[in-house]
């Protein structure tokens, strides 16, 4: 997703989002940059071998032709050709990395430079590109959706070709033959959002990809923006980015690969919330959270709900600069009963980066308290904590007793003053379990 500047309205305030100030190659406050992992890199300039049952970072685990008479690999200085000679029973040409990448990747940044050199018979989905798990080098049936994180294809046209994303059915503009094209495939199987540079020489990381999403670039054009991975709604797997395959299976022609690089998304630390807690504080709910790697974060939006369906915004808090931080705000009027609190981490362009939820209930409290505090001039609520109250009285700061009517509803007492109360501090006096107790509260 391209991170574009715009203004949003939250809590009746216009918030203009600040630009990112993160530079690749420099230390970030409180953190070291993550080392990049190269899982596979090959430009075919050497003499090989390009395949090995126990592959290194420059090798496939399998190079397969299912009909040697009509499909083949050819290698030359700086290229690998995959060719099909006939349309019917022409066989498959497969370049597979079935041995899992190590260490297991949570993100991948795949770049493939290739040219379609010639097309004799046009066909849709002529060449497949797969990322997933449990790929087989011996069984050439199509991998099921349950094994895939994502896939895209090349469609052969009469005298050109297009890049075709299967999940979104988006296609590139027709691309000319014998002209190099670079595909950049950005895949995120982690639990964190990641931001990245495109092109890599950019001063700022202007794009992001969220968990279980992927971006697909054709040269410098973003063809697919944060598409859903896991085709067919297959189950999450931590190993979903461990295998890779190129499969030429239909049409007639020749595809020349000049370079392939598979690495993780790095240089920018992931963005995430690591902790959220809600505690009672004299009838209010104190919401606290901690961040880690909050680079690129502009603010936090705090919401609550009675049913996890409809949320209302309580407040928003501007993010501190860099590093780890702890934040807290008060909900002065929590719902009686169960409260579902959510903290959303938002970048400077209004995009949601991460969120966490916490369930909090006033009903579980055993100590009496007044809520909300401050209270209104016409209604004061008391949570009794499940115990009985006797001899309930209210005094102002001058010792003057306040007349009121009280209604008991389960563990809650509602006090309605006979006259409008002034905006000041009051004392609630009561007997609980045979002991006199006091609570202070403020009327707004």
- pLDDT tens digit string along 60-72? 999 999 999 999 9
How far lies 240's CA from each of 59, 135, 230, 264, 340, in Å? 20, 11, 9, 14, 32
For residues 252 and 12, give the distance between their C-alpha atoms in angstroms, rounded to a whole number: 61
Q: What is the pLDDT of residue 344?
A: 87
Segment 340-346 shows an average pLDDT of: 88
Pairing assessment for the beta strands 425-432 and 435-442 based on DSSP bridges: antiparallel
Q: What is the pLDDT of residue 403?
A: 93
For residues 52 and 29, give the distance between their C-alpha atoms in angstroms, rounded to a whole number: 43
| Residue range 358-371, pLDDT digits in tens | 888 765 445 788 88
Residue 56: pLDDT above 90? yes
| Band of residue 232 on the pLDDT scale cut at 50, 70, 90 | confident
Dihedral of the CA atoms 132, 356, 411, 416 (nearest 10)?
Answer: -140
For residues 154 and 127, give the distance between their C-alpha atoms in angstroms, rounded to a whole number: 5
| Residue range 193-209, pLDDT digits in tens | 888 888 877 766 778 89
| Band of residue 220 on the pLDDT scale cut at 50, 70, 90 | very high
Buried b / exposed e across 294-312, counting CB within 10 Å, b at 16+? bbbbbbbbbbbbeeeeebe
Residue 18: pLDDT above 90? no
Q: What is the pLDDT of residue 240?
A: 97
For residues 231 and 146, give the distance between their C-alpha atoms in angstroms, rounded to a whole number: 8
Is the CB of residue 61 less than 8 Å from the CB of residue 53? yes
| Residue range 129-181, pLDDT digits in tens | 999 999 999 999 999 999 999 999 999 999 999 999 999 999 999 999 999 99
Radius of gyration of the chain (CA): 31
Residue 269: pLDDT above 60? no
- pTM check: above 0.75: no
3-state secondary structure of 231: helix
Segment 318-336 shows an average pLDDT of: 83
Residue 22: pLDDT above 80? no
Segment 114-125 shows an average pLDDT of: 97
Segment 320-346 shows an average pLDDT of: 84
Strand-pairing partners, residue 431, are: 390, 436
Q: What is the pLDDT of residue 5?
A: 32
| Residue range 79-118, pLDDT digits in tens | 999 999 999 999 999 999 999 999 999 999 999 999 999 9
> pLDDT > 70: what percent of the chain?
85
Q: What is the pLDDT of residue 37?
A: 86
Q: What is the pLDDT of residue 295?
A: 60
Segment 234-248 shows an average pLDDT of: 96
Residue 19: pLDDT above 60? no
- Of 357, 31, 347, whose CA–CA distance to 194 is shortest? 347
Q: What is the pLDDT of residue 323?
A: 63
Average pLDDT of the chain, as a whole number = 84
Q: Which of 79-93, 207-221, 325-339 has the lowest mean pLDDT?
A: 325-339
Pairing assessment for the beta strands 352-361 and 338-347 based on DSSP bridges: antiparallel
Where would I find the beta strands (DSSP E) of 133-200?
Answer: 148-156, 160-165, 175-176, 181-188, 194-196
First to last CA, the chain: 45
| Residue range 274-283, pLDDT digits in tens | 778 888 877 7
Vertex 123 angle, CA 120 and 126, to 5°: 95
């Amino acid at each position: 997703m391209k991170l574009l500047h715009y203004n949003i309205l939250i809590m009746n305030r216009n918030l203009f989002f600040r630009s990112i100030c993160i530079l690749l190659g420099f230390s970030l406050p409180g953190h070291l940059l993550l080392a990049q992992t190269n899982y596979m890199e090959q430009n075919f300039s050497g003499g090989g071998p390009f395949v090995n049952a126990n592959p290194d970072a420059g090798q496939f685990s399998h190079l397969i032709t299912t009909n040697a008479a009509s499909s083949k690999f050819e290698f030359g200085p700086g290229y690998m050709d995959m060719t099909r000679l006939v349309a019917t029973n022409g066989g498959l040409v497969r370049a597979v990395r079935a041995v899992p990448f190590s260490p297991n990747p949570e993100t991948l940044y795949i770049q493939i430079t290739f040219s379609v050199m010639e097309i004799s018979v046009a066909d849709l989905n002529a060449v497949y590109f797969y990322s997933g798990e449990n790929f087989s080098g011996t069984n050439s049936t199509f991998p099921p959706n349950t094994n895939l994180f994502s896939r895209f294809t090349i469609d052969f046209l009469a005298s050109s070709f297009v890049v075709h994303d299967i999940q979104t059915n988006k296609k590139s503009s027709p691309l000319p033959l014998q002209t190099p094209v670079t595909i950049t495939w950005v895949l995120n199987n982690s639990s964190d959002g990641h931001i990245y540079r495109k092109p890599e020489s950019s001063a700022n990381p202007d794009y992001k990809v969220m968990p279980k999403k992927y971006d697909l670039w054709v040269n410098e054009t973003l063809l697919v923006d944060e598409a859903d991975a896991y085709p067919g709604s297959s189950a999450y797997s931590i190993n979903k980015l461990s295998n890779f395959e190129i499969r030429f299976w239909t049409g007639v022609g020749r595809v020349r690969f000049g370079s392939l690089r598979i690495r993780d998304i790095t240089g920018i630390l992931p963005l995430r919330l690591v902790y959220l807690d809600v505690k009672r504080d004299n009838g209010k709910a104190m919401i606290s959270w901690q961040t880690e790697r909050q680079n690129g974060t502009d603010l936090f939006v705090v919401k609550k709900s009675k049913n996890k369906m409809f949320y209302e915004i309580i407040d928003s808090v501007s993010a501190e600069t860099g590093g780890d931080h702890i934040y807290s705000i008060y909900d002065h009027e929590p719902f009686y009963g169960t409260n579902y609190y959510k903290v959303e981490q938002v970048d400077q362009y209004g995009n949601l980066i991460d969120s966490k939820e916490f369930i909090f209930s006033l009903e579980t409290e055993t100590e009496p308290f007044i809520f909300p505090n401050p209270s209104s001039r016409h209604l004061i609520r008391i949570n009794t904590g499940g115990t009985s109250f006797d001899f309930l009285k209210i005094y102002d700061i001058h010792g003057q007793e306040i007349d009121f009517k009280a209604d008991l509803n389960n563990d809650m007492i509602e006090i309605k003053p006979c006259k409008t109360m002034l905006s000041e501090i009051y004392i609630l006096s009561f007997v609980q379990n045979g002991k006199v107790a006091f609570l202070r509260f403020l009327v707004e």
